[in-house]
Chains A and B, each alone.
Chain A
Amino acid sequence: MASITMNNLVKKYDDGFPAVNDVSIDVADGEFLILVGPSGCGKSTLLRMVVGLEDITSGDLLIDGERVNEKEPRQRNLSMVFQNYALYPFLTVYENIAFPLRLAKGKFSEKEIDEKVRHASELLDLDDHLERKPGNLSGGQRQRVAMGRAIVRDAEAFLFDEPLSNLDAKLRGQMRTEIAQLQRRLGITSLYVTHDQTEAMTLGDRVAVLKKGRLQQIASPRELYEQPVNLFVAGFIGAPSMNFLPARRDGDIFHTPIGDIPVPEHAKGKLDQAGELLVLGIRPEHFADAKDVQDTPWAARGTTFEAELTHTEWLGNQQYGYVRYEQDQDVKAKLDELAKDLDADEMPAQVVVELDAASRIRGGSTTSLWVNTQKMHVFDPESGTNLTRDEEAGAELTREANEERKAEIKRLHDQNL
């Protein structure tokens, strides 16, 4: 087990394109860190740089304090699970798992190898398949064999390169849980690459969000969700994603296409440097049917406005309503650029609101909606910075997550004793 330290890592290709640009991340011993971002953000490249399959153009990579930039992959003693599993098709499951042990010539006796392979296969529920070839296994089983090959030797850390993206949705959820539990049980430092924000949120102790090779924010999932640093992180984390609403500030009032919203308390004094034109970020769950909040303490924490729902989606446990509006041409270009960064074509000029599943509001009807302005973020459309981010509240969330992790590892450790 080890810590991994990345200091100002840069990867430039021959054409000068920086796939990874000045990324510094500290992965603590035993931590589960997620690298997340849309395709082409450099997350896989960064992982390959750590494992040694990709040269480091500049910067330092340290494993347990020792610089390993120039070391071969085999000298770094990391194990990796590949997106396409990369199992050796001509070897049985048993031999696939034993492969790294056999390569360490003379280090393990036949008996030790057998013990280690059987232990790994038991852990991963592969006992019935040891003599089969990978070609005859299902996707989930192959995935587990790849994991077995990774855990069989005492590697310093696990690296995962989108390990679940080839599985169907149901299996993905199941494997996600298994990976999380396995990591906790073994307490081994893990670095996990994914483009799926659900995986990032559920698995990670901390999540590093990358965009075009640059680190945007690294924090606990909660901090990313509640205190994003900029428009990109705010838009990437969360599904359905945060609503971005153009607004023109006039004193203490935001004029928005869906109505006027008073500037909330936490934003006051932070907007003086910014221009008149701003972008409000409001998550769908911070809206509600005004009828549901009136006469409750919530009503005072927000404001109500009238809107016409174009349509609604009922999902059983929740319901989403859609409100179309006229896009402000001055921010359209900026928002469309953001949408491109997030792998979409353009930012739809609509607000998604979460309604109570029991709500009878239907598409085409005009209704009174409530918005929780206390949870609202205000962004500068030019730089994308979150003007209302509360650094301390964010840091507190990450500190809490860190303590929870330590407590969990300790509990599992005590259980095993």
Chain B
Amino acid sequence: MTTKQKLGWAIAIVIVMIWSLFPVFSILMNSFKSNADLQSGGFLPSAFTWANYEMIFTGSARDLFLPALRNSIGISVIATALAVVLATLCAYAIARLDFRGKRIILVTALAVSMFPVVSIVTPLFNVWRQIGLYDTWLGLILPYLSLTLPISIWTLAAFFQQIPWDLERAAQVDGATSFQAFRKVIVPLAAPGVFTTAIIAFFIAWNDFVFGIGLTSTDAARPVPAALAFFTGASMFEDPAGAISAAAIVVTIPVIILVLAFQRQIVAGLTQGAVKG
């Protein structure tokens, strides 16, 4: 790259960073403001206070926030794990085997992910109440799978297709059974793809609001994004913006940790050197 190109890239990156990080920064600042500060409209708090965080962890919002946090983590982790296991097997079959209905599976998966979530919530609400899934973890995990599976299948299938088939054949000639070839050769190679998919699936489940608010009624299953809507101020005239900001920051932290922890795996080009080139 020439210096000019480098400069252009730098400017573009800075603009994108400001564009995407400004709202986050604004919420972070709000979470440190006192109630009076929030009304005044200044960007930076006049005095940093932990009051909002105290409120959601130990104060009045505690009974609303902590169960919701527990629900969010539990439901998202289970939904992600299920989605990744199912999608790995499914995508492997799609990438490697020639069977009838392969296209139908892919197209259906795509169609499902295109379906507007809002239009499913109301029928689901009725069905879930009839069969007793309303306001339960399972009642959210199932619809989350419908959101996470399609994208997981698509990304993983693309990933598996990049893995040279000869590696698996070589393993079979070397004496491996089909399952051994999958476990000892394909799985290690697919690890970066699986991590990436898991993170995407986790975000989808973690960020969901519509299912969360439509299919729960108590803190038995209500996730954080839905719980935020139930935050109230000290009086009905008081805006709970500070507490909501603090909660929003808290739920952002796992996402950041995940990305930082796994960015190596996400980026790593592990297949290098497998074949020529």
Chain A residues numbered 47-102 whose CB sits less than 8 Å from any CB in chain B:
51-53, 72-74, 78-80, 82-90, 99-100
| B93 interface residue per 8 A CB criterion | no
**Is the beta-carbon distance between A103 and B169 smaller than 8 angstroms?**
no
| A133 interface residue per 8 A CB criterion | yes
**Is the beta-carbon distance between A53 and B189 smaller than 8 angstroms?**
no
| A135 interface residue per 8 A CB criterion | yes
| With A84-B164, A100-B175 as contacts: A89 and B272 at CB distance below 8 Å | yes
Report how many residues on chain B are interfacial, defined by Cβ distance under 8 Å: 23
| B275 interface residue per 8 A CB criterion | yes
CB-defined contacts of B131 to chain A, threshold 8 Å:
none
Q: Give the Cβ gap from B47 to chain A, nearest Cβ, in Å.
A: 53
B174, B176, B272 — which one has the most chain A CB atoms within 10 A of its CB? B174
| B180 interface residue per 8 A CB criterion | yes
- Please report the C-alpha to C-alpha distance between residue A90 and residue B172 in the assembled complex, in whole angstroms: 17
**Is the beta-carbon distance between B177 and A74 smaller than 8 angstroms?**
yes
| B185 interface residue per 8 A CB criterion | yes
Per-residue CB contact flags for chain B residues 266-277 toward chain A (1 = under 8 Å, else 0) read: 000011111110
**Is the beta-carbon distance between A89 and B172 smaller than 8 angstroms?**
no
- Please report the C-alpha to C-alpha distance between residue A405 and residue B274 in the assembled complex, in whole angstroms: 36
**Is the beta-carbon distance between B169 and A89 smaller than 8 angstroms?**
no
| B254 interface residue per 8 A CB criterion | no
- Please report the C-alpha to C-alpha distance between residue A72 and residue B177 in the assembled complex, in whole angstroms: 8
CB-defined contacts of B189 to chain A, threshold 8 Å:
89-90
**CB closest chain-A residue, reference B98:** A14
| With A87-B273, A90-B270 as contacts: A103 and B175 at CB distance below 8 Å | yes
**Is the beta-carbon distance between B173 and A89 smaller than 8 angstroms?**
no
| With A82-B169, A86-B167 as contacts: A135 and B175 at CB distance below 8 Å | no
- Please report the C-alpha to C-alpha distance between residue A407 and residue B257 in the assembled complex, in whole angstroms: 69
CB-defined contacts of A83 to chain B, threshold 8 Å:
166
- Please report the C-alpha to C-alpha distance between residue A295 and residue B158 in the assembled complex, in whole angstroms: 73
CB-defined contacts of B180 to chain A, threshold 8 Å:
103
**Is the beta-carbon distance between A89 and B166 smaller than 8 angstroms?**
no
| B188 interface residue per 8 A CB criterion | yes
| B170 interface residue per 8 A CB criterion | yes
| A149 interface residue per 8 A CB criterion | yes
**Is the beta-carbon distance between B185 and A74 smaller than 8 angstroms?**
no
CB-defined contacts of B174 to chain A, threshold 8 Å:
74, 79, 99-100, 103, 149
A-B contact pairs, 27 of them (CB 8 A): A53-B172, A73-B169, A73-B172, A73-B173, A74-B176, A74-B177, A80-B173, A82-B169, A84-B164, A84-B166, A84-B274, A84-B276, A86-B169, A86-B275, A88-B170, A88-B274, A89-B273, A90-B270, A99-B174, A100-B175, A103-B171, A103-B174, A104-B175, A134-B273, A142-B273, A142-B276, A153-B175
Contacts from B to A (Cβ < 8 Å): 164, 166-167, 169-177, 180, 185, 188-189, 270-276
The 9 closest A-B pairs by CB, nearest first: A135-B273, A84-B275, A86-B170, A100-B174, A86-B166, A89-B274, A103-B175, A134-B273, A166-B276
